[in-house]
Structure 1
Amino acid sequence: MTAEPIDIIDILLVEDDPGDVLMIREAFEENKVRNRLSVVADGVDAIAFLRREGAFADAPRPDLILLDLNLPRRGGREVLEDIKSDPTLRSIPVVVLTTSSAEEDILRSYDLHANAYVTKPVDFERFIEVVRQIDDFFVTVVRLPPGGAA
């Protein structure tokens, strides 16, 4: 019995901390994740990327968004609200991936229709495991909406 080939998915990481970006990239490499990872460092660029504006005119439509809450120029909560209120973007699953474990951040994120809320582990090995589990869940378990709708 052979496993069916897994489609490569496009993931948008919205993260301003270069150390966290590096850890996520390393976690993908460590886990041999073949998905395409695009990175933007603030909320303004995240919305421009998703709407394919300006420098992001040729950006792929992500199948999954990993979103930090604490971002410069436009915070993660506002980005999440923009995504989930836009009929062309709201079907894209958003995983809030942040250092905050504050109950109000968790509740607010789910109120804004985040698909999951994950607190970033500080331990690198645990961080790698969390990224692997997110990837496994969204690539092998969950059925994502068809991409390409603009």
Structure 2
Amino acid sequence: MSDANKVILLVEDNPDDATLTLRAFKRSHIANPIIVARDGIEALDFMFARGAHSERAGAPLPTLIILDLKLPKLDGLGVLKAIRGDERTRLLPVVILTSSREEQDLIAGYSLGANSYVRKPVDFAEFLEAVRVLGIYWLMMNESPPERTAP
């Protein structure tokens, strides 16, 4: 699968954090297409090719989902539960990238099947480095499950 087909779904409602994440990928020369969903419902609509994203039916699913926890409409744990609850999306790599310092969020994230849990560094340089390392590992080093398509 070429890099152009390895789509990243970034689920982030904070425009500043979304911009920082996109900038960090660009600075790290990670050129994969990145789709930004601003709430949990939009993320699931993209994943399952419904609503505004119904034209995606049959399109490849994202290679990586980067998921914030504190989201409007449906929180990140609800999104993760829906992803893990569907046979078509259950194996997709999901990295929680959050500012939450709550231990119960960490435990719930892993209990629901997150592949990784990363706290957003407050320092800009540390944030860039964290996103760079995430991208390199999950897109270049990790062996992904077989490609599936949106319903």
TM-score clears 0.5: yes
Q: Distance in 1 between matches of 2:26 and 2:44?
A: 27
- Gap regions ≥5 residues in structure 2: none
**How is 1:1-150 mapped onto 2 (pairs within 5 angstroms)?**
7-8=2-3, 9-59=6-56, 60-150=60-150
Q: Distance in 1 between matches of 2:71 and 2:32?
A: 24
Q: Is the 8 A contact 2:64 2:139 kept in 1?
A: no
* Secondary structure at 2:10 match in 1: strand
Amino acid at match of 1:49: F
Could you state the TM-score of these two structures normalised by the residue count of structure 1?
0.92
Question: 1:145 Cα deviation (Å)?
Answer: 1.2
* Secondary structure at 2:117 match in 1: strand
- Gap regions ≥5 residues in structure 1: 1-5
* Secondary structure at 1:58 match in 2: helix
Structure-2 residue corresponding to 1:3: none
Between the two proteins, the alignment pairs up a number of residues equal to 145
* Secondary structure at 2:131 match in 1: helix
Amino acid at match of 1:107: I
Could you state the TM-score of these two structures normalised by the residue count of structure 2?
0.91
Question: 1:69 Cα deviation (Å)?
Answer: 0.3
Root-mean-square deviation (CA, aligned residues, Å) is 1.3
Q: Distance in 2 between matches of 1:61 and 1:149?
A: 5
Q: Deviations over 1:51-104 (max 9, x none)?
A: 011211234510110000000011111111010011111111100000012211
Q: Distance in 2 between matches of 1:54 and 1:81?
A: 20
